[in-house]
Amino acid sequence: MAIVGYARVSTEDQSLDVQVGQLKAAGCEKIFSEKASGSKSDREQLNALLDYVREGDTVICCKMDRIARSTKHLLDIVDELRNQKIAFRVLNINLDTTTPDWKANAHNAWRHR
């Protein structure tokens, strides 16, 4: 069971260092990172992460808007992971799909970000 992180910044001049540091502190053994607009639906490293993870793994990101473009996109990603029995966590809001109220927390957090 691996703990896998995802970090993203929108522009080339932004640094991934803070996110990568937080993901390492959270125990991530492998981190997929990229510099790409969040509005892009096809992100190479996000796709690579989704191909990489296996049942029993945990995917972690620092903030919801780093991995998803909208609540619907977030729920699509989480549903895909949950169907494969992969946990998902968002560090800044303590979202954890292994808890029963994760979906309500995701909706509320997205609205209040």
- The predicted model scores a pTM of 0.86
The residues, ordered by sequence, that sit 6+ positions from 16 with a Cβ below 8 Å of its Cβ are: 7, 8, 9, 33, 35
The answer to whether 23 and 82 are in contact (CB under 8 A) is no
Identify the active-site residue in 10, 15, 33, 37.
Answer: 10
Radius of gyration of the chain (CA): 13
What is the per-residue pLDDT across 34-76, written as a single tens digit (0 to 9) for each? 998 767 667 899 999 999 999 999 999 999 889 988 888 888 8
- Note down the domain range covering 24: 3-111
Provide the domain count of the chain: 1
Domain of 16, CATH number, reads 3.40.50.1390
Measured between alpha carbons, how far is 12 from 87 in angstroms, rounded to an integer? 30
d(CA 92, CA 33): 18
Q: Does 10 qualify as catalytic in the annotation?
A: yes
